[in-house]
Amino acid sequence: MAELHDLTAIEQLAALRAREISPVELTRHYLDRISRLDDGIGAFVEVTADAALARAAALDDAAPAGALWGLPFADKDLVPRAGVPTRFGSRLHQDFVPEATADQAAVLDEAGGISLGKTNTPEFGLTGYTETQIAPPARDPWNPVNGAGGSSGGAAAAVAAGLLPLAPASDGGGSIRIPAATVGVVGIKPSRGRVPFASGLDSPGGLPVAGPIARTVSDAALLLDVQVNGRAYSYATTAAGSGAFTDAATAVPASARIGVTTVSPWDDAEDIRLDPEASRAVDVATALLADAGHGVDRFEWRPRGYAEMFTTIWRTSAARMQLTDAQLELVEPITAWLVREGRALTGAQVLDVLAAATVFERETITAFAPFDAVLTPALALPPQPIGWFHPTDAPENFSQQVRYAPYSSFVNVAGLPAIVVPVTLSASGHPVSVQLIGRPGGEGRIIALAAELERRVGLLPKPDVWRA
């Protein structure tokens, strides 16, 4: 028998608006699942049940209003919410309770959503896995021996396990796409400048942006529409305009030219080995898109000098954190290494690498320009066990993250939109995803193509925990 979490987010919204279910009923359903199941998943670091139920009760007494009216979500634990502990994945902030709510959370509130708490994230969102000193690790619901990826690992795990219908997330080097691909759900990284309250335009290299994680392409597009339209632009952007991305997810896409590559910009610096299952997923997606009438071409892409450039930008971003020497002794080794390495850079080195990033952006957009979308693997390796990333050797830890997910960070540097969507099952029965990268401001096109893949594949099975 179908349960409420078996419905898509869009179906849940329809049931709410038709008064077939109430916000309190839906909120209780998800809170019950979190209470029973999250100890084995590690998706949440804070559950605000009383506040959620009070919010749901208030909505029960009001007319439906807002794109997310009555729909549960949860804030990533990098996003302050007034009165709720916000720890940033770090023991330095175990007792921090903000007085103000950040726009990333307020926009979803204003759309009628109901926050159930905070999702797990690594320290300051710096890594592509979610294992910290202050909380249990976020685990892959398909096989909890493995991690859920990061930095939005808790958000992805919650959606994959049926603990949330959808979740807001953020992506500075793959932090939406890595966990979404790890646990077999959909994640969208928008263009630089697309989401007003998390545009990327105020950070070194313009890397981090906000975006959605959901079980289906349409659900992810729904949340992206809310994120894009929740605040007016206060500056010129490289991705002017907005949605409706929900409409794109249901439209029949026009014939597109799609480039296919398994080259990553890390190939010259790291021992990148593409897992056969990841390669097969690309082949399957290529065949499905060709069968749908799209032009699909393999192409050679030879990026240069990327590894040193990105590593320097990542260190520069870390160096901006206001941490004392004493605090650096308390943070994760990878955090301390990045901060110290970043602080050792000269101003000239930082300016040079930011200039190099601009050149890389231009060259990448030029290389991809013949195509409406570029198809790549989502990850190079299958999900890895908890503890696989080296706990103390920071350079090796960073290298492992690159070898696991070499197709993610360059999209942030180039400022392009990208979506990951599962298309095959591995021999063990785990979803395997591909990535579609769009032109600047081209979210609608890649959402339409991903939705077409989703329709042709059919919704894949769910993990066992889904039925618990």
Residue 72, classed as helix, strand or coil, is strand
Q: Which residues, in sequence order, are CB contacts of 252 under 8 Å at separation 6+?
A: 448, 452
What is the amino acid identity at position 237?
Answer: T
Q: Alpha carbon of 222 to those of 168, 226, 336, 371, 433: distances in Å? A: 11, 7, 38, 26, 20
Contact between residue 10 and residue 4 where contact means Cβ atoms under 8 Å apart: no
| 93 three-class SS | helix
Question: If we measure between CA atoms, which residue out of 239, 232, 224 comes closest to residue 416?
Answer: 239
Choice among 76, 118, 189, 462 that is catalytic: 76
* Cα–Cα distance measured from residue 330 to residue 110, given in angstroms and rounded to the nearest whole number: 37
Of the candidates 90, 115, 151, 264, the residue annotated as catalytic is 151
Instruction: Quote the CA–CA distance of 141 and 159 in Å, as a whole number.
Output: 10
Residue 319 and residue 345 in contact, taking contact as beta carbons nearer than 8 Å: yes
Helix/strand/coil for 117: strand
Q: Which of 175, 218, 264, 399 is flagged as catalytic?
A: 175
User: Is 151 marked active-site?
Assistant: yes
- 170 catalytic, yes or no? no
Rounded to the nearest angstrom, the gap between the alpha carbon of residue 41 and the centroid of all alpha carbons in its chain is 18
The H or E element spanning position 170 is: strand 166-171
Q: Answer yes or no: 255 catalytic.
A: no
Residue 59's nearest CA partner among 21, 2, 104, 3 is 21
User: Is residue 347 within a helix (H) or strand (E), and if so which, with residue range?
Assistant: helix 347-368
Active-site positions?
76, 151, 175
